[in-house]
Amino acid sequence: MADSSGTHSPRSPFRVWKAFTWSMKGLRSTWDLESSFRLEVYLFVMLAPLGYWWGQSGVERAVLIGSLMLVLVVEVLNSAVEAVVDRWGAEHNELAGRAKDMGSAAVFLCDMNVLICWGLILLPRVLH
């Protein structure tokens, strides 16, 4: 939730904790309701350790693992867009359909990013 006090002072530890609990609630909702997110988490759990092991530098590890993490971030955002569109109404609407398709396209582009990043880092090692 947005800060409503309008101050520039730092958040208190209590407010940081509340923000953390809201984030965990969002992750839990996404886990409970989105099978695609669960699949992507399973893939992350399997591939992130391999990315750490196969990466030969900190930058390579960051790219391999970070590209996987980006898929999870975009999937959560896509799920949020879908929830808002579904809340707005169940009847067919061209803009609602477009919003859902664009969210899906964003996840697809992140998936392609994973393939490109992993391929560019790991394929030269396999081919030589």
Which amino acids are annotated catalytic? 75
> CA 98, CA 112: separation in Å to the nearest integer?
21
Tokens of 69: 């993490």
> CA 102, CA 60: separation in Å to the nearest integer?
29
The closest alpha carbon to 121, from 68, 60, 67, 47, belongs to 60
63 φ, ψ (degrees, to nearest 5): -70, -45
Using only the alpha carbons of the chain, give its radius of gyration.
18
List alpha helices for 34-93, DSSP H.
Answer: 35-54, 58-88
